[in-house]
């Protein structure tokens, strides 16, 4: 016979369920409100012209064409630099250093600290090092490199976790077949570690694309179409910040730009999770 | 050292049906006072043993007596384990396995290993076989295709998978996966096969199939098999070696022909173990 709950137990159970659901509902509601507000105010301003035209009158009118281009270029620089360094370091940490080695411990600890450093600090560092010391000035290159520094800790740690999640049996069986370590890493471990890499990439790119503080000091404010990576370029988040804080009457375009940013973020997230579940799985099977 | 047959060379194979009992006392592997320590804890100590060519040698004994560790010394998988220290000597023909200048890649090609849990790569069936062959320098497509068919036939998998070579290996059943792993090892033309409880993770039916396969490989390969299944050891092994934990470390207690170990054991421990009274 099924045991029936006594009344107080029943009440406690009910309360616990309500608490859990309530918390989840609260979080979802905040997100929906935020998103709803942006869509409500922004959607009507979005058009093809808005996405391609240059901003006019300090951004009150016109579009965000050059700003989108700058944002993508900054992101491109950031990924080009951070992916190889990130994967390389993750391989070193996961495959070539033991958990207890001094080098591994120090590196991991520094990465964890770096991951929590406020972005404004990265911005000041980028300004001092890339803009001034290396003489790159306010440029897309400086901005992208600064973002790379910011993204790397997250990317490395989660890729490392991805490598560690690959069963040891793969390493033993490749070694037992007389395969070299490089072969094992490239052909077996890397494809298997891709989900971890993607998680890090999504978190990192999410942080990078939404970044304002680190870019204000490095890639600058200029809202013209960039002609090279050494040109200053305004990122989307800076544009939103500028329109809503410094430009009176820029609210409508700020909302529209924010909506574009959110859509970009969702698209990146969606692509990555699709890749993790379908695209790369198939690839891992057929390589 | 006997030169390893180049993987691109002609693939001379004896027919599998030739099921002669392992011939004569022709020793292939000589192990001399081998000990292994994980940091300071000994896994096994002072094992001296000679393994005859073409025979199946079963290593039996209770869990934790160092049988698996012993196997991993032979192909130097111990190199991968941090804090693992091996002393003693292993000679395969004239090859000193433990010598620092020994080419472990070639060594591991000569000595295939099958693990307890089937561990095909998360690739297709075909790629599981092609990948190691390519890495060892076999490029010729015709030869690769030939090798795939031969080895899959050797393990009795060809008819089951020939129409789906490009489907994921992980979709195969446990027994099929284990036979694929054996085929993967055989494709590299090893002389010795190390098997670490190859049937223990399989259901009884698949286990029987794999066991028959192991028997059919006798005399073409020198096989060392760790098993907890005494009846299996009795059925398939030519020689048997009993390991036991004494004073906190694994030791070799007795070694002899399977018949002698199971029917006229000399050591009282062996007698107690094979009769099921201990272990």
Within chain A, what is the greatest distance between any pair of CA atoms? 79
Domain for residue B254, yes or no? yes
Residue B22, helix vs strand vs coil: coil
Please say whether the beta carbons of A171 and A49 come within 8 A: no
CA distance B278 to chain A (A): 31
Domain for residue B173, yes or no? no
pLDDT band at B2 (very low <50, low <70, confident <90, very high): very low
CA distance B60 to chain A (A): 22
Q: Per-residue pLDDT tens for A244-286? A: 888 888 888 999 999 999 999 888 888 888 877 775 554 444 4
Domain CATH for B78: 3.40.50.300
Percent of chain A topping pLDDT 90:
49
**CA B270 to chain CA mean position, Å:** 23
Signed CA dihedral, B47, B50, B54, B57: sign only: negative
Contact across the interface for B109 and A178, Cβ inside 8 Å: yes
Backbone angles phi, psi at A105, to 5 degrees: -65, -45
pLDDT band at A79 (very low <50, low <70, confident <90, very high): very high
Contact across the interface for A175 and B80, Cβ inside 8 Å: yes
Domain for residue B80, yes or no? yes
pLDDT of residue A15: 92
Domain for residue B214, yes or no? yes
Domain for residue B168, yes or no? no
Mutate to test the interface with B, among A177, A281, A284 (most CBs of B within 10 A): A177
**B71 contacts chain A (CB < 8 A):** no
Contact across the interface for A172 and B119, Cβ inside 8 Å: yes
Domain for residue B1, yes or no? no
What domain range includes position B103? Answer: 27-121+192-274
**Residue ranges of the alpha helices (H) in chain B?**
67-74, 104-110, 125-135, 141-154, 158-161, 174-186, 204-217, 230-236, 258-263, 268-274
Please say whether the beta carbons of A193 and A155 come within 8 A: no
- Residue A178 has its nearest CB partner, among B105, B121, B166, at B105
Please say whether the beta carbons of A207 and A151 come within 8 A: yes
Using a CB-CB cut-off of 8 Å, the residues of chain A touching B105 are 178-180
pLDDT band at B7 (very low <50, low <70, confident <90, very high): low
Distances (CA, A) of B25 to A68, A261, B29, B239: 78, 77, 12, 11
pLDDT band at B169 (very low <50, low <70, confident <90, very high): very high
Please enumerate in sequence order all residues whose Cβ is within 8 A of that of B106, keeping only pairs 6 or more positions apart, or say none. A178, B4
Which stretch of A144-153, B184-193, B268-277 has the lowest confidence by average pLDDT? B268-277
Please say whether the beta carbons of B29 and B190 come within 8 A: no
Domain for residue B139, yes or no? no
- Average pLDDT, rounded, for chain B: 87
pLDDT band at B1 (very low <50, low <70, confident <90, very high): very low
Domain for residue B253, yes or no? yes
Q: What is the interface pTM, i.e. ipTM, of the complex?
A: 0.84
Percent of chain B topping pLDDT 90:
56
- Average pLDDT, rounded, for chain A: 88
Query: What value does the mean pLDDT take over residues B176-204?
Result: 92
pLDDT of residue A6: 67
Total structural domains within chain B: 1
CA distance A98 to chain B (A): 8
Please say whether the beta carbons of B52 and B27 come within 8 A: yes
Which stretch of B6-20, B75-89, B226-240 has the lowest confidence by average pLDDT? B6-20
Please enumerate in sequence order all residues whose Cβ is within 8 A of that of A183, keeping only pairs 6 or more positions apart, or say none. A174, B135
Query: What value does the mean pLDDT take over residues A101-126?
Result: 92
| β-sheet bridge partners, residue B255 | B241
Residue A57: DSSP 8-state: G
pLDDT of residue B252: 92
Please determine, for residue B13, whether its predicted confidence score (pLDDT) is greater than 60: no
Please determine, for residue B230, whether its predicted confidence score (pLDDT) is greater than 50: yes
Mutate to test the interface with B, among A101, A174, A178 (most CBs of B within 10 A): A178
Q: At what angle do helices A119-126 and A140-165 cross, to 10 degrees?
A: 130
**A182 contacts chain B (CB < 8 A):** no
Higher pLDDT, B2 or B51: B51
Contact across the interface for A285 and B168, Cβ inside 8 Å: yes
Residue A137, helix vs strand vs coil: coil
Q: Which residues of B111-134 are buried (b: 16+ CB within 10 A; e: fewer)?
A: bbbbbbbbbbbbbbbbbbbbbbbe
pLDDT band at A194 (very low <50, low <70, confident <90, very high): confident
Task: Please name which of A8, A163, A188, A174 lies closest in space to residue A97, comparing C-alpha atoms.
Answer: A163
CA distance A55 to chain B (A): 51
Q: Per-residue pLDDT tens for B15-29? A: 343 444 566 678 889
Signed CA dihedral, B80, B155, B95, B34: sign only: positive
């Amino acid at each position: 016979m099924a045991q029936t709950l006594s009344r107080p137990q029943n009440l406690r159970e009910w309360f616990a369920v309500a608490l859990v659901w309530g918390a989840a509902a609260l979080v979802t509601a905040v997100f929906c409100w935020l998103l709803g507000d942006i869509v409500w105010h922004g959607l009507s301003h979005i058009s093809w012209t808005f996405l391609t035209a240059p901003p006019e009158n300090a951004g009150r009118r016109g579009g965000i064409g050059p700003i989108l281009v700058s944002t993508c270029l900054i992101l491109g620089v950031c990924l080009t630099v951070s992916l190889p360094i990130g994967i390389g370091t993750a391989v070193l940490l996961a495959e070539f250093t033991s958990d207890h080695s001094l080098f591994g411990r120090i590196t991991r600890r520094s990465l964890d600290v770096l991951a929590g450093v406020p972005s404004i600090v990265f911005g000041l560092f980028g300004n001092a090092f890339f803009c001034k010391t290396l003489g790159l000035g306010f440029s897309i290159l400086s901005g992208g490199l600064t973002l790379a520094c910011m993204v790397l800790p997250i990317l490395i740690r989660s890729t490392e976790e991805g490598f560690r999640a690959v069963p040891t049996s793969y390493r033993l069986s490749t070694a037992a077949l007389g395969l070299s370590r490089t072969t094992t890493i490239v052909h077996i471990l890397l494809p298997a570690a891709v989900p971890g890499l993607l998680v890090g990439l999504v978190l990192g790119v999410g942080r990078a694309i939404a970044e304002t503080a680190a870019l204000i000091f490095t890639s600058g404010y200029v809202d013209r179409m960039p002609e090279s990576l050494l040109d200053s370029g305004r990122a989307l988040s800076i544009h939103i910040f500028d329109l809503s804080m410094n430009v009176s009457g820029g609210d409508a375009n700020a909302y529209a730009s924010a909506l574009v940013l959110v859509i970009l973020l969702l698209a990146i997230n969606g692509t990555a999770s699709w890749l993790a579940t379908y695209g790369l799985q198939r690839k891992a099977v057929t390589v | 050292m006997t030169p390893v047959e180049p993987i691109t060379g002609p693939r001379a194979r004896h027919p599998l049906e030739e099921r002669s009992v392992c011939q004569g006392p022709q020793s292939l592997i000589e192990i001399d006072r081998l000990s292994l320590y994980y940091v300071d804890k000994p896994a096994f100590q002072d094992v001296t043993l000679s393994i005859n060519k073409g025979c199946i040698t079963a290593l039996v004994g209770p869990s934790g007596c160092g049988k698996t560790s012993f196997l991993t010394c032979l192909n130097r998988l111990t190199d991968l384990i941090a804090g693992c220290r091996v002393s003693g000597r292993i000679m395969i023909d004239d090859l000193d396995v433990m010598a620092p200048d020994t080419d472990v890649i070639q060594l591991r090609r000569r000595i295939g290993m099958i693990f307890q849990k089937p561990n095909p790569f998360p690739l297709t069936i075909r790629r599981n076989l092609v990948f190691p062959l390519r890495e060892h320098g076999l490029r010729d497509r015709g030869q690769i295709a030939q090798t795939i068919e031969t080895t899959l036939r050797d393990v009795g998998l060809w008819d089951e998978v020939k129409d789906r070579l490009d489907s994921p290996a992980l979709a195969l059943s446990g027994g099929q996966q284990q036979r694929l792993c054996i085929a993967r090892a055989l494709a590299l033309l090893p002389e010795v096969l190390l098997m670490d409880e190859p049937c223990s993770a399989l259901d009884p039916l698949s286990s029987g199939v794999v066991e028959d396969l192991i028997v059919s490989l006798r005399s073409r390969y020198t096989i060392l098999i760790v098993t907890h299944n005494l009846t299996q050891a009795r059925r398939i092994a030519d020689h048997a070696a009993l390991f036991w934990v004494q004073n906190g470390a694994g030791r070799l207690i007795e070694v002899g022909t399977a018949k002698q170990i199971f029917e006229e054991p000399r050591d009282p421990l062996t007698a107690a173990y094979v009769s099921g009274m201990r272990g």
